Amino acid sequence: QVLSSLGYHVVTFDYRGWGDSVGSPSERGMTYDALHVFDWIKARSGDNPVYIWGHSLGTGVATNLVRRLCERETPPDALILESPFTNIREEARSHPFSIYRYFPGFDWFFLDPITTSGIKFANDENVKYISCSLLILHAEDDPVVPFHLGKKLYNIAATSRSFRDYKVQFVPFHTDLGYRHKYIYRSPELPRILREFLGKSEHEHHH
């Protein structure tokens, strides 16, 4: 609703194995689904900018997707990562196990050891191959993905050669605001943050 009120179209979908989508989730499958949706949107969006937004586990899908898009030279106009981790292993090490009950989609990952060996969601590795504007949003009091992992991911991206010609921005939200893992959308500052960031990325894109 926040994005719609700012004049953006929002296209989102259920990954395979979730919601109304059949199949069972896998990192590769979820990434493929995102790629398919991107291509569907690109075929219909004309000259309008297309941005990729990932939240939480979705940041892993988003960076997998955008890395592929950049490698095939069809980058999106910007990538926004909300409450991102560096990679699944570091995320897992950051927590008492019980926290995963609150992390949608993590139950299949943790409770099914067959899947664990194949899952990386390596945001930290992917950002080294991404060339487009990047905005990271993270609340300091996030109990699910610790703030320091989002900050670490930003530091990796900010020093990466792949972002040389692009803007990389990190926006922290103070603990006192109480946004935790999934309430950053409540920030009255968010529209301004997005307008400034996306305005600049659109500007860069046209030159």
Q: Against a cut of 0.85, is the pTM above it?
A: yes
What are the domain boundaries of the chain? Answer: 50-140+149-175+184-198
Q: Which residues are identified as catalytic?
A: 56, 142, 181
For the chain, what percent of residues have pLDDT higher than 90? 69
Q: Tens digits of per-residue pLDDT, 39-57? A: 999 999 999 999 999 999 8
Note the pLDDT tens digit of each residue in 77-97: 999 999 999 998 788 777 655
Q: Give the CATH number of domain 50-140+149-175+184-198; options: 3.40.50.1220, 1.10.10.10, 1.10.940.10, 3.40.50.1820.
A: 3.40.50.1820
DSSP alpha helix (H) spans, the chain:
2-5, 27-42, 57-71, 88-93, 106-111, 113-116, 123-126, 147-158, 190-206
